Amino acid sequence: MRARVTIRLKPGVLDPQGEAVERGLSSLGLPGAARVRVGKVIEMDLPDGSEATLRKVASEWLANPVIEDATVEVLT
Amino acid sequence: VTVAVVTFPGSNCDRDCVWAMSVCAAAPVSKAWHKDDTLPIGTTAVLLPGGFSYGDYLRCGAMAARSPIMADVKRFADAGGAVLGICNGFQILCEAGLLPGALLRNHDARFHCKVVGLQVQGNSPLLAGYNRDELIDLPIAHGEGRYHADDATLDELERDNRIAFRYLQRLPSGDAVVNGARRGIAGIVGGRARNIIGLMPHPERRSHEDLGGDDGLPLLQAVAEHGLARGMA
């Protein structure tokens, strides 16, 4: 199976990288850009049946539960 | 009877820590490698040094927190042994769950390398070399030192006297001017016996008059002496 884990900073956690990207977008013709947040996408091949373990590892390690949320999608 | 300094791939303050512990704090030092399954025999304290372990891949300290040596560091800490995490070592302790919270990119997205004023506040045998509320100067050098935890955790840290060091310069919100750390937190105390300390500033870089001061030396000395005081020698 092919899986995708998307990691986002929790709402309310300051994202200085997002703010810098927001300023960049403004200077490149998108002055209305707002609430920009930068996250991570991790894609991987896994043996079929790994989804439950992946969900556990994604929420405990790929994302740090103190500051981040993870969503797991099985693509194929 | 040694202070074990753990080297991870990407550690870059391990040699400074060995020097400061052995020359300035006059403590016997051994070195441990991240792939070791156990700490050296006779370890009485553990020091996790600064640097960029595993290139800060995934998150600062996230890879190192799962490296083989950390299982024994956890056992050592659970048994009451002194553990000091400096800078990246603090990030590793948080990622390993030995300390609460996490360290995020500085609020201004800049790397800060300078000497900052701190107040020593927490209650821990590892802070015994300082007076309560003593003001000290220590160097910082980090891009990701913004301490973050939820309000409940921060309240508990304050109530339980587990905020070891606070930055003196604070924003109106109470956050640190230099990196945005919540409530100005530069270092915290953990462990059932208050035997774990993590901090972003570098005590080893201010542990000798030749380095401009020795404000960091009492912390290193207390860590070195902790195991002796517990009769581990």
CA A35 to CA A25: how far, in whole Å? 12
Q: Which of A13, A16, A66 sits opposite B109 (nearest CB)?
A: A16
Say which of B87, B95, B142, B226 is annotated catalytic. Answer: B87
Chain B contact probe: residue of A15, A67, A68 with most B CBs at under 10 A: A67
Q: Is B95 on the interface with A (CB under 8 A)?
A: yes
List of chain B residues whose C-beta atoms are within 8 Å of the C-beta of residue A41: none
- Is residue B94 annotated as a catalytic residue, yes or no? no
pLDDT, mean of residues B92-115 = 98
Is the confidence at residue B175, as pLDDT, over 70? yes
Which regions of chain A are under pLDDT 70? none
pLDDT at B19: 98
pLDDT greater than 80 at residue B223: yes
Q: Does B108 touch chain A (CB under 8 A)?
A: yes
Tokens standing for B114?
């300078």
Q: Catalytic annotation on B24?
A: no
pLDDT of B103 over the 60 cut: yes
Give the H/E segment covering residue A3. strand A2-9
pLDDT of residue B227: 79
Residue B231's pLDDT band (boundaries 50, 70, 90)? Answer: low
Query: Looking at B94, B204, B225, B226, which residue is catalytic?
Result: B204
For residue B42, how many C-alpha atoms fall within 13 Å in the half-sphere facing its CB? 9
Whether chain A has a CB inside 8 Å of the CB on B146: the answer is yes
Alpha carbon distance B163, A72 (integer Å): 36
Chain B partners of A12 at a C-beta cutoff of 8 Å? Answer: none
**Which residues of chain B have a CB within 8 Å of the CB of A69?**
none
Query: Which pLDDT value is given to residue B172?
Result: 98
Compare CB distances from A61 to B62, B150, B180 and report the shortest one's residue: B62
Question: Which of B24, B66, B22 is CA-nearest to residue B45?
Answer: B22
Q: Do A17 and B108 touch (CB under 8 A)?
A: no
- The β-bridge partners of A73 are A4
Distance CA B7, CA A61 (A): 22
Q: How many CB atoms lie within 10 A of CB B161?
A: 15
Tell me the sheet residues that pair with A71: A6
pLDDT band for B1, please (50, 70, 90 cuts).
confident
Contact: A13, B148; criterion CB under 8 Å? yes
State yes or no: is B156 an active-site residue: no
pLDDT value of residue B138: 98
Q: Which amino acid is at B83?
A: V
Q: What distances in angstroms separate CA B190 from CA B8, B73, B125, B128, one per listed residue?
A: 22, 14, 11, 15
> pLDDT at position B232, please?
58
Three-state helix/strand/coil letters over chain B:
CEEEEEECCCECCHHHHHHHHHHHCCCCEEEEECCCCCCCCCEEEEEECCECHHHHCCCCCCCHHHCCHHHHHHHHHHCCCEEEEECHHHHHHHHCCCCCCEEECCCCCCCEEEEEEEEECCCCHHHCCCCCCCEEEEEEEECCCEEECCHHHHHHHHHCCCEEEEECCECCCCCECCCCCHHHEEEEEECCCCCEEEECCCHHHHCEHHHCECCCHHHHHHHHHHHHHCCCC
| Residue B207 phi, psi (nearest 5) | -125, 15
B233 has pLDDT over 60: no
Among B54, B56, B59, the residue to mutate for chain A (most A Cβ within 10 A) = B59
pLDDT, tens digit, 9 for 90 and up, residues B211-220 = 999 999 999 9
- For B53-77, the pLDDT digits (tens) are 999 999 999 999 999 999 999 999 9
Region of B133 on the Ramachandran plot (φ > 0 left; ψ -120 to 50 alpha; else beta): left
Whole-complex ipTM: 0.91
